[in-house]
Amino acid sequence: MKKNNPETPPKEEQLNALEEHLAGTLVPITPPSELVVRMRERIRVPQREEIVSQIGNWQRLFLVFGGVMSGFVLIVTVARTFFYFVARK
Amino acid sequence: MPDTEFNEEDVLNRAAQGESEAFGLLYERYIDRIFNYVYYRTGNLHDAEDLTARVFQRAMNHIKNYTDRGVPFSAWLYRIAHNLVANWHRDRSRRQEIPINDVPILPSKGDHPEKNLVRSQEEDSLLRLIRRLPPERQNLLILKFVENMSNAEIGAITGRSEGAVKSLYHRTLLSLRDQLGDQKINLDGE
């Protein structure tokens, strides 16, 4: 049978001491102001002009995407025509 | 800003309608809390900054979907932070970087963490043990000690009853005490 060590503090005392250490270790910290500003910059809402310029970029993106798809369809059509004639011979 | 001047419901409505100034008020109000939470869950300032910014970015992008279901707005933010921190831990384990228990534990006391690098060996040991606890227990300790929240407030954020929080807290203390004993760490420095 396990005997209690007379030098070991009772459970409640141990837990109270642990709580005190936790309170001393887990202390609130204030993020440095430059860090707060930097984060604010990162999450800021884009201005109206930026949104307009983004839409401009999207239009360009659509044009590029449309051009690529058209080129792809053209290549496929030429390839099919070529194989059509080759297969007939 | 004093609470009397801050009508959170009104600010939330304005932010949900896309008013960036209103979101800025929410940011100012919660930045410290979220930063503290993320910092204590990650253990380093760089990642804490990055993840905190991502928490607010995500909150800003999804604030239109936020609905008041009787839980505080902070609970919603903590939930986002919790998910991002969980992803961060998962990515770290995949990349097999430095094990989390070996992450140097930086700062802490005072307003400017980088200027207060001195932390006692006992506090370092205790922090390392805390980081080995399951996430819900780490959350509990951070909310209780860093945010100084009551069990009821913690319950509102974590979706548990006050009694369940109290019980979990007690089990967490017992577990920490046992681990300290197993590792022969004496917090009193004797």
User: What domains can you pick out in chain B, each with its CATH number?
Assistant: 9-119 (1.10.1740.10), 120-190 (1.10.10.10)
The whole-angstrom distance between B68's CA and the closest CA on chain A is 23
Contact check, Cβ <8 Å, B49/A38: yes
Indicate the helix (H) or strand (E) that contains A73: helix A48-88
At B91-122, the pLDDT tens digits run 887 765 544 444 444 444 444 444 444 457 77
* CA distances (Å), origin B149, targets A9, B138, B165: 28, 14, 11
pTM beyond 0.95, yes or no? no
Domains in chain A: boundaries: 11-88
Read off the amino acid at residue B155. G
Report ipTM (2 d.p.). 0.73
B121 contacts in chain A (CB < 8 Å): none
DSSP chain B: --GGG--HHHHHHHHHTT-HHHHHHHHHHHHHHHHHHHHHHH--HHHHHHHHHHHHHHHHHHGGG---SSS-HHHHHHHHHHHHHHHHHHHHHHHT-S-GGGS-----SSS-GGG-----HHHHHHHHHHHTS-HHHHHHHIIIIIS---HHHHHHHHT--HHHHHHHHHHHHHHHHHHHHHTT--TT--
Model confidence at A88: pLDDT above 80 = no
Which of the residues in chain B have pLDDT under 50?
Answer: 1-2, 4, 98-118, 190
A21 contacts in chain B (CB < 8 Å): 122-123, 126, 187
Contact check, Cβ <8 Å, B31/A15: no
pLDDT number for residue B80: 93
Q: Which of A2, A12, A14, A35 has the most B C-beta neighbours within 10 Å, making it the best mutation to test the interface with B?
A: A35
Inter-chain contacts counted by CB atoms under 8 A, chains A and B: 88
The whole-angstrom distance between A27's CA and the closest CA on chain B is 5
Contact check, Cβ <8 Å, B57/A42: yes
Residue with tokens 């807290």: B169
Give SS3 for A58: helix
